[in-house]
Amino acid sequence: MASSTSHTPTSLLILLSFLSLFCSLQAATAAGTVGVNYGRIADDLPSPAKVVELLKTQGITRVKLYDTSSDVLTALAGSGIAVTVALPNELLSDTAADQSFADDWVHANISQFYPATQIESIAVGNEVFVDPKNTTPFLVPAMKNVYNALVKHNLTSIKISSPIALSALQSSYPASSGSFKPDLIEPVIKPMLSFLNQTGSYLMVNAYPFFAYEANADQISLDYALFKPNSGVVDSGNGLKYYSLLDAQLDAVYAAMSAIQYDAVKMVVTETGWPSLGDSNEVGASQANAQSYNGNLVNRVLTGNGTPLRPNEPLDVFLFALFNENKKPGPTSERNYGLFYPSEQKVYDITFTTSSSASGGEGDDDGEGVSKASNAGQTWCVANGKAGEEKLQKGIDYACGEGGADCRPIQEGATCFDPDTLEAHASYAFNSYYQKQQRGTGTCDFGGAAYVVTQAPSYGKCEFPTGY
């Protein structure tokens, strides 16, 4: 009598296995988003209504404010632009101490405008840990009270976080050694990350490679800071190779969170930028460098994929800032981070959508936009050595087989066989596949075994293709 137990044919198992691998390789890592900070410490800015039109004309779909100005929020109503608002540091004490104060603030500043104005998040305070008024003890209680107020108004889709500066880190180099300052961990960092984890929110981080370069120009390559072609920096702790200073800074924050067991918390870069003008001692502040940094960053974000440590996490960034603000105190650079003059003319030419991006910068021929369709040479796909040999080999097998990559150059005796390492061969194969797929979003993933870079990979004398 035949057994009633069914058996799956071997051929079907092989097919299912292949389909599973194929799906994992094809899983698209969504491209990140580019927003802009709309600061208003100036006496010559256009009206909020004109600013909204400017944002729409430029294709900017996310904006971050430093307050809850009723004029601005009203102007943004019905625009389709997602808005991050802020509860300023000076209100943290009252918000932390009194739930009714938080309730009233949410009623007056959030529920009165939402959903006509698409408020997506609230920044409770800004760089609180360096606030000279010592508002740090009030931060997490204030965040919790604002959240409680959102619950009462049935507005929990709005996320709550608080931007931190990189000065919250005790160590940031190499990135793998990232750690928070010990005196912050127990009183505020852990409670804040726990709150973000529980509410499904993310950590807001303000990161400026300009400051690191300015202070260490004799040690940091300008190309490394500006996302321009460079030889890269290998992290001695985890072996990952970095081609941009911003990636290393963000991974230092990820490493710091991991060190205290908060690996699941995501991140949004709420401020980053480069000044177009500075004082004589502000090394690197120039229009060409600002164009290069912001233009290359936009391209970096919109091509998809994350940092070397978190390659599957897309980058979401807010450029600082929309306008040059003539009333900001401090060095000249503080008044010259703007992408636009108050006249609404661009300070330099970059675009904010996938249709084009600028490279610009010192040493380049020009700073004109380059359309994505003819974007050959702007991005490459390389292997993530941390993914492990099994994933790398599976990726090579797919790319060089079903994927149709040209893997002849990595055969023994061919031009790119050396260096004879799995990571080098995988990088070549992955990039060949990526270029053949017209550098489409998600075609440089390979189940987390690859990520996009904006600098040409360097493996001995091997030259990587930039298009077919």
Q: Is 396 helix (H, G, I), strand (E, B) or coil?
A: helix
Query: What DSSP letter does each residue of 105-159 carry, written as one string?
Result: HHIIIIITTTTTS-EEEEEESSSGGG-TT--GGGHHHHHHHHHHHHHHTT-TTSE
Nearest to 256 by CA among 161, 355, 357, 173: 173
Residues marked as catalytic: 127, 271
C-alpha 359/C-alpha 295 separation (Å) is 6
Bridge partners (DSSP) listed for residue 63: 36, 83
How far, in Å, CA of 126 to CA of 113, rounded?
A: 22
Beta strands in 299-434 (DSSP E): 316-319, 356-357, 370-371, 380-383
Give Cβ neighbours of residue 421 (< 8 Å, ≥ 6 apart): none
Residues 253 and 205: their CA atoms lie apart, in Å, by: 9
Neighbouring CB atoms inside 10 A of 217's CB total 13
Angle (nearest 5°) at CA 271 between 338 and 223: 75
Q: Which two tokens stand for residue 109?
A: 């500043």
What's the order of all strands across the beta sheet hosting 33-37? 159-161, 119-124, 82-87, 62-64, 33-37, 316-319, 266-272, 202-206, 164-165
